[in-house]
Amino acid sequence: MVEIVNTQTAASRSAVRFAPANKSVRTRANNAVAPLATVSFDLWRRLSDNAVEPNGYYLPEWEMSVNAFAQGRTGVSALTAEIPEVDGSPRLIGLMPAISAWRAYKLPVPALVTADPYGTLGTPIFDRELADVAVSQLMQQARDAGAHALILRDLPLDGPVMAAFSRVLEDSRMRPRVLQSHARACLDATRNADELLRDALGPKKLKELRRQRNRLAEHGDVVFTVASMPDEIERDLEIFLALEASGWKAKRGTALAQNEGDAAFVRRAVRDTAARGKCEIITLHAGETPVAGAIVLRHLDRAFYFKLGVDENFAKLSPGVQLTLELTRYMCADETIKMVDSTAIAGHPMIDPIWRGRLAIGDVLIPLHRYDPLIPLIRLAITGRKSIREPLRRIVHSIRKFQEKRT
């Protein structure tokens, strides 16, 4: 029998730990999972600069801000892998922000789950030269903490991190188990933008979008701007927050500016990531009026389309689509970016018709022991919970949409 001990409510926000019911809980010195806040910023930055697979949401400036402020996402733990440098100093080669299965799913099962970084991507950060070593160390650290499985949420299924886990598991005659999967929109930024948009939308739809853009121009010159410098970022972030809080997200209470913690998180995260050239605010203006804005993160050769806000007074002129067309042209012209992850839900009605590339994403269970009888039970508990929750979520979503149409 395994008892799950969650110390997240302690003042120190210490980590999730597991222990046999008849033994005392392990201390940090005895390989319990450490608080994320104790991870060295400098070591994390070095690791992210040499990562085998990009994840803008697990950049230290972003995730540390989430961990410090964001509603329901603070007090996260960290699985880490290190090796010594020649001079004896530590080198971080692997990092997985983690929470307990109880916190993630309200399930009392002995598993550690990738923490929600306020973005739908949970790729752990591994050194590109030592990914397999890092995977092995993280798995051992989780075992030492009493976990029987890792749950990697929103993981690219065809990426090098998944491949590293598969290799390490195969060496131990184990295999990963995909709990759920879907395909979401992404942009192949190596293509010519005009050709890509013509292939995706066709001449008829492009003609309609040009007509809408001309209608926008009746309010003044249509201008696309990219903010990356500190003063520009601060100004345009406030524009974005106001746009996001002016529409349907505000009606649902999910706009970032509506929660003090979320607003504090995004202001610090955007400021700090932009200071390292990892974040931009894009805005579309019609004359003096901002009609759409979005946050875009960058990590290595990939960009991430975080959130979009629009002025719904211009809804008939598709300001969000117009901004996305400009972002497409901007990213395709940037030789440092190969792909843009929409980080959107599968089948998103706005982005899917424009960005026709697809990225396979899934939740993956990583077993930590061979022939573990708990693994089928953990898998069943998580998938069974989801099979009940998803229909309920769709019903609630339909009710909200109906109510919004009535108002």
| pLDDT(135) > 80 | yes
Averaged pLDDT for residues 297-305: 98
Sign of CA dihedral 53, 54, 58, 59: positive
pLDDT at residue 29 in the model: 31
pLDDT at residue 395 in the model: 56
Rounded to 10 deg, the angle between the 260-275 and 230-244 helix axes is: 150
pLDDT tens profile 336-371: 999 999 999 999 999 999 999 999 999 999 999 999
pLDDT at residue 4 in the model: 31
**Is the separation of the CB atoms in 113 and 151 below 8 Å?**
yes
| pLDDT(11) > 80 | no
pLDDT tens profile 89-100: 999 999 999 999
| pLDDT(403) > 50 | no
CB atoms within 10 A of CB 113: 28
| pLDDT(22) > 60 | no
Token duo for residue 87? 């001079």
User: Which among 298, 307, 277, 294 has a CA at the least distance from the CA of 189?
Assistant: 298
Tokens 């979320």 -> residue: 262
Sign of CA dihedral 258, 262, 268, 272: negative
| pLDDT(233) > 90 | yes
CA distance 119 to 355: 19
- More confident site: 56 or 251: 56
CA distance 218 to 354: 25
- More confident site: 335 or 14: 335
Determine whether domain 2-185+360-406 maps to CATH 3.40.630.
yes
pLDDT tens profile 42-84: 999 999 999 999 999 999 999 999 999 999 999 999 999 999 9
Q: Residue 402, SS3? A: helix
First vs last C-alpha separation in the chain: 53
CB atoms within 10 A of CB 6: 17
Distances from the Cα of 158 to the Cα of 121, 183, 358, angstroms? 14, 11, 11
Determine whether domain 190-337 maps to CATH 1.20.120.400.
no
Largest CA distance in the chain: 73
Q: The whole model's pTM is what? A: 0.89
CA distance 291 to 273: 24
**Minimum mean pLDDT among 207-221, 313-327, 376-390: which range?**
376-390
pLDDT at residue 392 in the model: 53
pLDDT tens profile 153-192: 999 999 999 999 999 999 999 999 999 999 999 999 999 9
CA distance 376 to 207: 53
pLDDT at residue 394 in the model: 63
CA distance 57 to 40: 17
Each domain of the chain, given as residue ranges in start order, spans 2-185+360-406, 190-337
pLDDT at residue 388 in the model: 75
Query: What value does the mean pLDDT of the chain take?
Result: 90
Token duo for residue 212? 């809408």
Same fold, 2-185+360-406 and 190-337: yes
User: Which among 141, 146, 159 has a CA at the least distance from the CA of 78?
Assistant: 141
In this prediction, what percent of the chain has a pLDDT beyond 70? 88
